[in-house]
């Protein structure tokens, strides 16, 4: 039994390595893709492009503008007229436009109400909001008003709200989801397509062993990728803080990849060829990834989707991983995530297992 | 190109798509993705779970607490636990932020002394962390400045005008971008398998042996998918307009033409992948890699292109989604149309993009065994 199991695992692994294109693509995803996402993508309002029209002599207006500096803002760009400024906003080159009209400073000096006109491209809502907030702060600072309240903010777990480590991690988790599903599904469907799957099931070997071994081989591939990616990119380049236990993460990952290959099995059972696998896995994967809470927190979603997300193993995996890496949650408090991944994953694997193992 | 042969081949491809039930996917997939994401993605922070520890229990602190309780951005609860316990709540991801109002808050304020309000924000999700921080600060500053008399003297009033999305609706900001994502992913994934499938099954030899030219072969593969997906342009538009109630301020013709170009680009990406890969699995993974992730990252939904720096700025310009989404946001929200030079330029770039990709595909397609 054990010997058969391992020889099938070995056969699949050799098959994987022989396809150098596939090895290359998988390696690329686990390394370069994670790196690009981590180094380039910024959800935080950073480098907001600001433009301004200054009709004043430039004392107070420059004082306000000097407060808009990196990393949140690009150096403000000067425009000669309001129409030029709005042209740039319409072309999406500028997100926030500030207009200092001619008597802006005069009114302020005379202790009258001075008005600052601001144009915002609201399609970049969060950037616009943050800029507005900044400007309010700056103006409060300048306005000589004393507010006797001191706000002391502590950002927990990620003091600088550094997005790079977070994006790298999110990307890694998405890639794990994708590959564990697709690789498993294709390994089975390829046999189906070539007509060898029925032969496999008819062999004098317990089909359960075959299914287990075949999916296990893909779990090994993905787990290897995780270790490589963790070592070289996530921890090596981005220095993601590990406040919790790394072994907890690896264990959680293992269960999750198992769940993913369960979904892959399920897809393989339904699909007849790789074309259908591709379609089905996208239909299943994209909601899994984007509705998992990595992009939008679950409780902010439409109520129906909140319930749906309970059956997504990725939901538990992402929350669990965030807790392990950033919040440094102890083992004992991690049990909901383990339970979630194992329960949902177990059910999915079982369904897929039953479905694909049936001959007729 | 010989029209008769082309017609026969297209008919055969169409038949295959219909028989393999792929036709359902062609229409199910885009709609499903749009609905799921349209309802599921929210960039705005609402209902952040905030625990307020009010150690003062005075009139002023109640005033402050009620400001939080009445904000749509927060689900505030006032509790009496100690800080350690509250921190544990955050660690268990049951609470997003804690606000600590110190004892003698009111007393000190009335005497004109400075008091401190402590805020602890869970920044494990960085962008949400910073957004929540600024919201909380905004509420507190707002409440505080309301207490100060003569605040209007010598002050600066901000007069803000939000363009394109006056109501700041999340749907308006997201749904157009999603169309760009969906129309990139769905056609590409079908096209990516069309040729490589024949390679894996060996039926590609029919093509090698037949007098069919490369151009005819690619055209026959491309046209059925192109026609089928063209319908999706309108389906997605209907969802956006009537379900998500996104305004449509631009020209319908621009939307249509740009979308057809974009679908052509998307299919060309798929065909190019199909030409260079040897197995279907590689084609699938490669397509997912070059469409889904960049399609989302560079769509302008999560981050405006003007804010990108370094590598990602270049990468954004390499992928077609940026150009199309610029036009999409224009027709839905801005309404400039072809009057804007940038839109004209981007339309041309989209068309060129498709032509170049198809050219490469035709160039690299083999018609003989190596």
Alpha carbon separation from B161 to A116, A117, A120, B227 (Å, rounded): 11, 8, 6, 42
Measured from the Cβ of residue B112, the count of other Cβ atoms closer than 10 Å reads 8
Residue A315 lies in a domain: yes
Residues A290 and A326 reside in one and the same domain: yes
Cβ-based burial of A87 (10 A; exposed 0-12, middle 13-18, buried ≥19): middle
Q: What's the pLDDT score for residue B256?
A: 92
Alpha carbon separation from A35 to A29, A165, A225, B306 (Å, rounded): 9, 10, 14, 21
CA distance B207 to chain A (A): 20
Residues A107 and A244 reside in one and the same domain: no
CA quadruple B313, B318, B319, B325: dihedral positive or negative?
positive
Residue A226 lies in a domain: yes
CA–CA distance, B72 with B46 (Å, rounded to integer): 6
Chain B residues 320-359 with CB within 8 Å of chain A = 326, 329, 333-334, 336, 340, 342
Residue A149: is its pLDDT beyond 70?
Answer: no
Chain B residues 62-101 with CB within 8 Å of chain A = 87, 90-93
Pick A120's closest partner by Cβ from B129, B163, B288.
B163
Question: For the segment A62-108, what is each residue's pLDDT rounded down to a tens digit?
Answer: 877 887 776 777 888 888 888 888 888 877 788 888 888 877 777 77
CA quadruple B160, B162, B163, B167: dihedral positive or negative?
negative
Q: Which residue shows structure tokens 């307009």?
A: B241
Residues A169 and A279 reside in one and the same domain: yes
How many folded domains does chain A comprise? 2
B281/A333 CB distance under 8 A? no
A155/B133 CB distance under 8 A? yes
Domain holding A192, by residue range, is 2-41+161-357
CA distance B132 to chain A (A): 10
Question: For the segment A163-173, what is each residue's pLDDT rounded down to a tens digit?
Answer: 677 778 888 88
- b/e burial code for range B65-74 (CB count within 10 A of at least 16 → b): bebbeebebb
Residues A89 and A170 reside in one and the same domain: no
Q: Which residue shows structure tokens 């709200």?
A: A161
Question: For the segment A47-56, what is each residue's pLDDT rounded down to a tens digit?
Answer: 778 888 887 7
Alpha-carbon B148 to chain mean position: 43
Q: Mutate one of A86, A133, A149 to test the B interface: name it (highest B CB count within 10 A).
A: A149
Residue A89 lies in a domain: yes
DSSP secondary structure of A246-288: HHHHHHHHHHHHHHHHHHHHHHHHH-SSHHHHHHHHHHHHHHH
Confidence of residue A315 (pLDDT cuts 50, 70, 90): confident
Q: What's the pLDDT score for residue B320?
A: 87
Residues A231 and A82 reside in one and the same domain: no
Residue A328 lies in a domain: yes
Question: For the segment A290-300, what is each residue's pLDDT rounded down to a tens digit?
Answer: 777 766 777 76
Residue A59: is its pLDDT beyond 90?
Answer: no
Q: Give the pair of three-digit tokens for residue B81.
A: 């636990």
Q: ipTM of the assembly? A: 0.71
Residue A120 sits at φ, ψ, to 5 deg, of -125, 140
- Identify whether the C-beta of residue B180 lies closer than 8 Å to the C-beta of residue B237: no
Question: For the segment A174-199, what is each residue's pLDDT rounded down to a tens digit?
Answer: 888 888 988 888 888 888 888 888 88
Q: What's the pLDDT score for residue A145?
A: 57
Residue A73 lies in a domain: yes
B279/A128 CB distance under 8 A? no
Residues A173 and A288 reside in one and the same domain: yes
Residue A319 sits at φ, ψ, to 5 deg, of -60, -40
Residues A307 and A198 reside in one and the same domain: yes
Alpha-carbon A325 to chain mean position: 14
Q: Which residues of chain B have pLDDT under 70?
A: 42-44, 124-127, 145-158, 160, 162, 165-168, 309-310, 370
Q: What's the pLDDT score for residue B237?
A: 92
CA–CA distance, A55 with A1 (Å, rounded to integer): 84
Residue A225 lies in a domain: yes
Residues A181 and A109 reside in one and the same domain: no
Q: Give the pair of three-digit tokens for residue B7.
A: 């017609």
Residue A154 lies in a domain: no
A167: Cα within 13 Å, side-chain hemisphere: 22
Residue A149 lies in a domain: no
Listed residue (B95, B47, B42, B91) closest to A43, CA to CA: B42
Residue A109: is its pLDDT beyond 80?
Answer: no
CA–CA distance, A290 with A341 (Å, rounded to integer): 17
Decide which of A91, A114, A142 is a domain's last residue: A142
The DSSP element (H or E) to which B101 belongs, if any, is strand B97-101
Q: What's the pLDDT score for residue B273?
A: 92
Q: Mutate one of A142, A155, A304, A332 to test the B interface: name it (highest B CB count within 10 A).
A: A155
Question: When comparing pLDDT for A341 and B110, which is higher?
Answer: A341
Question: For the segment A118-148, what is each residue's pLDDT rounded down to a tens digit?
Answer: 888 777 766 777 777 777 777 777 765 556 6
The DSSP element (H or E) to which B66 belongs, if any, is helix B59-69
CATH number at residue A98: 3.40.1710.10
End-to-end CA distance of chain A: 25
> Tell me, what DSSP letter sits at residue A154?
E
Q: What's the pLDDT score for residue B262?
A: 93
- b/e burial code for range B300-317 (CB count within 10 A of at least 16 → b): bbbbbbbbbeeebeebbe
Q: Which domains does chain B have, with CATH numbers?
A: 3-41+168-364 (no CATH), 48-147 (3.40.1710.10)
CA–CA distance, B264 with B361 (Å, rounded to integer): 13
CA–CA distance, A227 with A246 (Å, rounded to integer): 11
Alpha carbon separation from B62 to B69, B79, B105, B108, B147 (Å, rounded): 10, 13, 11, 15, 14
Q: What's the pLDDT score for residue A163?
A: 66
Residue A342: is its pLDDT beyond 80?
Answer: yes
Residues A64 and A203 reside in one and the same domain: no
List residues bridging with A119 in a β-sheet.
Answer: A97, B161
Task: List Cβ neighbours of A272 (8 Å cut-off, separation of 6 or more).
Answer: A189, A192, A193, B20
- b/e burial code for range A109-120 (CB count within 10 A of at least 16 → b): eeeeebbbbbbb
Portion of chain A with pLDDT greater than 90, in percent:
1
Measured from the Cβ of residue B94, the count of other Cβ atoms closer than 10 Å reads 10
Chain B CB within 8 Å of residue A1 CB: no
Chain B residues 104-123 with CB within 8 Å of chain A = 108-109, 112-123
Instruction: Using DSSP bridges, classify how beta strands B48-54 and B74-79 pair: parallel, antiparallel or unpaired.
Output: parallel
Pick B165's closest partner by Cβ from A95, A108, A122.
A122
Chain A CB within 8 Å of residue B198 CB: no
Pick B156's closest partner by Cβ from A42, A143, A151.
A143
Residues A211 and A186 reside in one and the same domain: yes
- Identify whether the C-beta of residue B254 lies closer than 8 Å to the C-beta of residue B337: yes
Task: Report helix, strand or coil for B326.
Answer: helix
CA–CA distance, A179 with A288 (Å, rounded to integer): 13
Residues A339 and A294 reside in one and the same domain: yes
- In this structure, chain A runs to a length of 360
Pick A157's closest partner by Cβ from B124, B197, B278.
B124
Residues A276 and A333 reside in one and the same domain: yes
Q: Give the pair of three-digit tokens for residue B314.
A: 């270049």
Chain A CB within 8 Å of residue B164 CB: yes
């Amino acid at each position: 039994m054990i010997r058969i199991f391992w020889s099938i695992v070995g056969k699949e692994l050799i098959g994987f390595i022989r396809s150098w294109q596939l090895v290359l693509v998988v390696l690329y995803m686990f390394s370069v893709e994670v790196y690009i996402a981590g180094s380039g993508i910024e959800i935080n309002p950073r480098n907001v492009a600001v433009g301004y029209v200054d009709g004043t002599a430039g004392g107070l207006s420059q004082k306000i503008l000097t407060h808009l500096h990196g990393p949140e803002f690009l150096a403000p760009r000067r425009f000669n007229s309001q129409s030029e400024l709005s042209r740039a906003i319409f072309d999406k080159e500028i997100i926030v436009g500030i207009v200092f009209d001619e008597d802006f400073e005069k009114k302020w000096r005379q202790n009258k109400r001075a008005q600052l006109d601001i144009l915002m491209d609201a399609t970049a809502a969060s950037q616009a909001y943050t800029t507005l907030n900044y400007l309010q702060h700056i103006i409060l600072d300048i306005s000589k008003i004393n507010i006797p309240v001191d706000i002391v903010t502590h950002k927990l777990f990620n003091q600088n709200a550094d997005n790079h480590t977070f994006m790298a991690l999110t990307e890694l988790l998405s890639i794990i989801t994708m590959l564990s599903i697709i690789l498993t599904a294709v390994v089975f469907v390829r046999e189906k397509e070539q007509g060898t799957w029925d032969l496999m099931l008819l062999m004098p070997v317990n089909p359960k062993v075959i299914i287990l071994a075949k999916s296990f081989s893909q779990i090994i591939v993905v787990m290897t990728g995780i270790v490589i990616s963790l070592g070289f990119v996530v921890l090596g380049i981005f220095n993601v803080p590990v406040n919790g236990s790394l072994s907890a993460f690896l264990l959680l990952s293992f269960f999750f990849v198992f769940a993913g290959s369960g979904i892959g099995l399920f897809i393989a059972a339904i699909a007849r060829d790789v074309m259908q696998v591709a379609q089905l896995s996208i239909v299943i994967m994209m909601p899994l990834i984007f509705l998992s809470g990595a992009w939008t927190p679950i409780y902010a979603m439409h109520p129906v989707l909140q319930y749906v997300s309970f059956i997504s193993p990725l939901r538990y995996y992402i929350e669990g991983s965030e807790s392990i890496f950033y919040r440094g949650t102890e083992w004992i408090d991690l049990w909901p995530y383990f339970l979630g991944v194992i329960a949902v994953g177990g059910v999915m694997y079982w369904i897929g297992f039953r479905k694909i193992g049936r001959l007729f | 190109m010989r029209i008769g042969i082309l017609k026969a081949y297209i008919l055969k491809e169409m038949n295959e798509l219909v028989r393999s039930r792929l036709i359902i996917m062609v229409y199910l997939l885009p709609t499903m993705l749009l609905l799921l994401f349209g309802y599921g993605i929210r960039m705005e922070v609402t209902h952040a779970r905030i625990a307020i520890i009010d150690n003062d229990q005075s009139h002023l602190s109640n005033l402050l607490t009620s400001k939080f309780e009445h904000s749509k951005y927060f689900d505030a609860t006032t509790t009496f636990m100690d800080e350690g316990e509250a921190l544990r709540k955050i660690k268990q991801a049951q609470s997003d932020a804690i606000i600590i109002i110190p004892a003698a808050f009111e007393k000190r304020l009335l005497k004109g002394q400075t008091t401190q309000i402590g805020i602890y924000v869970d920044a494990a999700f960085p962008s949400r962390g910073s957004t929540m921080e600024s919201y909380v600060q905004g509420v507190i500053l707002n409440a505080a400045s309301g207490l100060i008399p003569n605040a209007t003297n010598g002050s600066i009033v901000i007069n803000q005008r939000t363009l394109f999305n006056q109501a700041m609706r999340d749907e308006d900001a997201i749904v157009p971008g999603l169309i760009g994502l969906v129309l990139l992913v769905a056609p590409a994934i079908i096209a990516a398998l069309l040729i490589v499938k024949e390679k894996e099954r060996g039926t590609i030899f029919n093509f090698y042996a037949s007098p069919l030219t490369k151009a005819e072969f690619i055209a026959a593969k491309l046209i059925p998918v192109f026609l089928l997906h063209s319908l999706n342009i309108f389906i997605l538009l209907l969802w956006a307009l009537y379900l998500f109630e996104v305004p449509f301020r631009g020209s319908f013709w621009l939307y249509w033409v740009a979308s057809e170009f974009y679908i052509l680009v998307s299919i060309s990406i798929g065909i190019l992948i199909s030409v260079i890969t040897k197995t279907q699995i590689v084609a699938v993974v490669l397509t997912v890699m070059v469409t889904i992730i960049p399609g989302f990252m560079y769509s302008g939904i999560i981050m405006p292109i003007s804010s990108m720096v370094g590598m990602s700025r270049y990468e954004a310009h390499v992928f077609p989604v940026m150009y199309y989404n610029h036009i999409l946001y224009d027709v839905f929200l801005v309404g400039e149309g072809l009057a804007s030079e940038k839109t004209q330029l981007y339309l041309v770039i989209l068309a060129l993009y498709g032509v170049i990709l198809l050219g490469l595909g035709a160039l690299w397609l083999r018609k003989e065994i190596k």
